């Protein structure tokens, strides 16, 4: 058994978006894997998504004695954000961690990207992260600080050969994160981005399971394997915990070496 002070998120309240794929024994996403690490480390967790059936099933981890609850949150909706953050504050009186993780990904050459796809990418990623960050800040201020972690992409730093709209939307997250970090650093609200490489999750399963595509991705990844949801969630846990208390405005790249090339 570990000593109490070794529990990394003890007493913290965490809100996670795009986190419904969090069921043990099924493929998890980054949000889902983070839910499990967060509760293991003593956090009270509010997981959210637009996939309500899956989210409700995931919140059944309460049965293992964890403090976890599911709420519907479409990250593009200002009204939804207000409802969810207000509900967290009413229940817990504080918000320490926000993991802005919801995402959608549409590959395609520039000429083939419709305005609808462009707006959807920018809506979920850019607008979603902005709305969440804006709503979380006053709540975190009440508790004397907090940590916001935004899921970008390795191609939110460099260009993408396959997915320009996705890459552009993730690029907005990269620079927005730094600007917001500067504005709230003095208030101990830390804001960082994570930049995953190719990882097996529900979002990528269909495309990455194509043997030809998989081999291409493996060839591009110096460490010779794709990432797991837990590879990413471990970095998120570090940023959520006080171990990263002097880290803000940074890009945590977790990609098996891909962006180092």
Ligand X SMILES: NC(=O)c1ccc[n+]([C@@H]2O[C@H](COP(=O)([O-])OP(=O)(O)OC[C@H]3O[C@@H](n4cnc5c(N)ncnc54)[C@H](O)[C@@H]3O)[C@@H](O)[C@H]2O)c1
Question: Among all residues, which ones are annotated catalytic?
Answer: 166
Choose between 30 and 130: whose C-beta lies nearer to ligand X.
30
Closest distance between ligand X and the C-beta of residue 186, in Å? 29
Closest distance between ligand X and the C-beta of residue 231, in Å? 10
Please name every residue paired with 82 in a beta bridge, in sequence order, or none if there are none. none
Q: Does 171 bind ligand X (CB under 6 A)?
A: no
CA dist 64 and 105 (Å) reads 33
Tokens encoding 61: 């981890």
CA distances, 84 to each of 20, 69, 77, 162 (Å) = 15, 11, 11, 35
Closest distance between ligand X and the C-beta of residue 153, in Å? 4
Choose between 89 and 203: whose C-beta lies nearer to ligand X.
203
Binding residue count for ligand X, defined by CB under 6 A? 31
Q: Does 147 bind ligand X (CB under 6 A)?
A: no
CA dist 196 and 204 (Å) reads 12
The dihedral over CA atoms of 261, 180, 234, 120, expressed in degrees to the nearest 10, equals -80
Instruction: Determine the residue with CB nearest ligand X.
Output: 29
Among 17, 147, 193, 248, binds ligand X (CB under 6 A): 17
Among 16, 39, 46, 50, binds ligand X (CB under 6 A): 50
Q: Does 203 bind ligand X (CB under 6 A)?
A: yes
Element (H, E) at 191: strand 189-196
CA distances, 147 to each of 2, 38, 138 (Å) = 24, 13, 13
Choose between 204 and 248: whose C-beta lies nearer to ligand X.
204
Among 9, 153, 172, 240, binds ligand X (CB under 6 A): 153
Q: Does 29 bind ligand X (CB under 6 A)?
A: yes
What backbone phi and psi angles, to 5 degrees, belong to 96?
-100, -30
Among 133, 147, 151, 244, binds ligand X (CB under 6 A): 151
Q: Does 37 bind ligand X (CB under 6 A)?
A: no
What is the number of other CB atoms lying within 10 angstroms of the CB of residue 188?
A: 15
Exposed/middle/buried for residue 116 (C-beta within 10 Å: 0-12, 13-18, 19+) = exposed
CA dist 253 and 152 (Å) reads 9
Q: Does 204 bind ligand X (CB under 6 A)?
A: yes
Choose between 32 and 164: whose C-beta lies nearer to ligand X.
32
Residue that has been written with the tokens 């809100």 in this structure = 15
Residues that bind ligand X (CB under 6 A): 17-18, 20-21, 29-32, 49-51, 73-76, 101-105, 124, 151, 153, 196, 198-199, 201-204, 229
């Amino acid at each position: 058994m570990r000593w109490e002070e070794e529990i990394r998120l003890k007493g913290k309240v965490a809100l996670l978006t795009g986190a419904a794929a969090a069921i043990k024994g099924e493929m998890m996403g980054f949000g889902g894997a983070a839910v499990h690490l967060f509760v293991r480390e003593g956090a009270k967790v509010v997981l959210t998504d637009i996939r309500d059936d899956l989210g409700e099933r995931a919140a059944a981890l309460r049965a293992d004695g964890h403090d976890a609850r599911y709420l519907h949150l479409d990250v593009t909706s200002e009204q939804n954000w207000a409802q969810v953050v207000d509900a967290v504050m009413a229940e817990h009186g504080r918000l320490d961690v926000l993991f802005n993780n919801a995402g959608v990904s549409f590959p395609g050459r520039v000429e083939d990207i419709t305005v609808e796809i462009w707006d959807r990418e920018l809506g979920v990623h850019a607008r979603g992260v902005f709305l969440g960050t804006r709503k979380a800040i006053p709540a975190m201020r009440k508790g004397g600080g907090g940590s916001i972690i935004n899921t970008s992409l390795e191609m939110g730093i460099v260009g993408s050969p396959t997915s320009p709209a996705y890459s552009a939307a993730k690029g907005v997250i990269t620079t927005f994160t730094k600007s917001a970090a500067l504005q709230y650093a003095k208030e101990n609200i830390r804001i960082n981005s994570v930049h995953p490489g190719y990882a097996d999750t529900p979002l990528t399963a269909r495309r990455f399971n194509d043997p030809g595509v998989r081999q291409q991705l493996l060839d591009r990844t110096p460490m010779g394997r794709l990432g797991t949801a837990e590879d990413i969630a471990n970095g998120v846990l570090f940023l959520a915990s006080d171990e990263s208390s002097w880290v803000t405005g940074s890009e945590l790249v977790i990609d098996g070496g891909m962006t180092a090339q």
